[in-house]
Structure 1
Amino acid sequence: MLSVAWSCCAILVLAAACAADAEEGVIQGRVVTRTAPSHPIVHQAVHLEIVERAASSVLDTVTDAGGRFRFTRLPVGGIRVFVLSAEYGGVRYSGERLALLPAAPVRTVDLAVYEPSTDRSVLRPPVMFAVVEVAPGALRVSVVQRLENPTDRTVVSSPRDPLVFPLPPGARSVRFLAGWVDPRVDGGTITDAFPVTPGRTEVAYACTLAARQSEVAVPWVFPDGAGQVDVLVADVGVEAAADGLAPRGAVEGPTGRFLHWSGGPISPRRGVVLRLRGVPLARDPWPAAVAAGLALILAGGLARSFARARDPAAPA
């Protein structure tokens, strides 16, 4: 009987081990440059970040002669995601978030990278979307600016020669909301050296403008021009007009009704001016954290709505 018991225990241990092996996950694929002619990248370092509730860890490997990589013995199920990344041509590329489930413990994906270029002339004129909220004694301005790269190369810059985004004169309390790498406020502009990958790249910020008089002018200048400019102003009884933009009626946003102006293209070194009359004068009562959250919701949600309206093929 003892030998039978030991045999049963051994079988159970082996069965458990087999079940564990069966639940071990695998993430595999290739690193491929999408710059023509497209081809796998050999001997390329690849990182896999495992993000869990309270911690994260990173695994590393190198692609083989066929540009292939493979991460094995990964945990399956649970609340965790996996993110592939690789640094190529001085730019860090990341893949989509992956999950390993008991029903699909193996994922095969390609990680796309691009050859670098320093030629900014290939970029299309930027598209700007701004939301202006009115508070007693202040304006809260949130901006999403989109850069479009129609080529198959990533346009790179450097801290010595960064991308430049002019701020409205008098902007203060600038908050960087999304898309930036190492932004700095310098001489009335935001500068940053982030890469512009093929397709669309968006950055967002919010700032405050003091309203010391009931009439306020908010100018924007575009050194490289602009393909399209959309400005929404909260419809709270303030008279509004815009030089260089046409009125487009009113739209409903997540916090109320907004007056809409738009126009474009805007020539290089030209600008537009938003003019407001009847701005209430008082100390700004908005907490900074609340204002930043509101700006992100407004700019992000409304910008996506306008992008879909202009480009029905754009993803939701």
Structure 2
Amino acid sequence: MDLLEIIERVKKISGKIPNEESTKQHLILPILMALGWDVFDPDEVMPETSTEEGRPDYAIMINGRIVAFLEAKSVKERIFRDGRINSKHARQLAGYCFDKGIRIGILTNGLQWALINAFEEYKPVDERIILAVDLMNQSTEEAIERLRWFSKEKITNYRDIPSEYSRIPTQVSVPVIQKPILQRLPSAQDHNFRTLYVSAREVQLPPSAVAVEELIGRDLRGYTPTAVFVQINGKWYRVEISHGKRWRGLKLTWSSITSVVVRFLLDMGVKDFPVIGKYLSKAPTVSQKYWNAVAKIGNWYLYLPEDGNRAVAVFHELAKATGVNIALEVKRNAK
């Protein structure tokens, strides 16, 4: 199951979980697996590693080297309450990390997840939250967006986590208004825009891939994209759609391909994008009746390209502004 399915299952069964051990087995480990960790490989997830301060539940490792300690609590025990982290549990985790010189720690009860900085001058531990997730008090889309920073692919890039992700989600009670005074016009914040998520793997660029620059000016009518590749930090990645929301027929097309690349770049820590007309902007630039043709990726709005030439033109501007290289495999449609 993918991360979306795992989250929905975890939320559904959490009320049946009686203690810490079952929390680890039924809630925490499935989420770690969905985030790319091999929980059966002792070089990735090792239970009960010894420290002078005690035994954290798991050491999280990459290539056999510990990158984080994970301390698990029963789902019945709150990690966050009233907008604050449980400082007792956070100090316990920080102690494990400090003893072994591990920079970050993960505190979770399966539904609430916190990534903390184990040591930072002049800051108490409850002010050293890097990332906070609450599956019950956030939309699934927002929870997935944040949880992906715990993945094997991204956890060592924790310094790139947006600062607003450190805020602990809280449940907001909305008062019931008996008599509406004004009818508020819909805004972009109210609209449930489509979105998608991606996976990527490092590859050698195949000979069949064509650089975006070589596709500029070429008539792409009658062609379909079959693969997209992005080079960043000197490495090529093949990027594929993993799942989406409100996106019918999730497959690589000219209309989805720019959203795929922007999502990947956001996942890789790229933050500064150029505004490219209606095709990439900080707010929808088309009228509301066309919002169903707009995707929201992170905090960016992307009008779906109408054809290959427009998609390639967007890529050309995107690559020029961010310094990445983009290449595509395309095929001629059957007549």
Structure with a larger share of its residues in strand: 1
Structure with a larger share of its residues in helix: 2
Q: Greater RCO between the two (CA within 8 Å, min separation 6)?
A: 1
Question: How high is the TM-score relative to the length of structure 2?
Answer: 0.28
Question: How high is the TM-score relative to the length of structure 1?
Answer: 0.29
Larger radius of gyration: 1
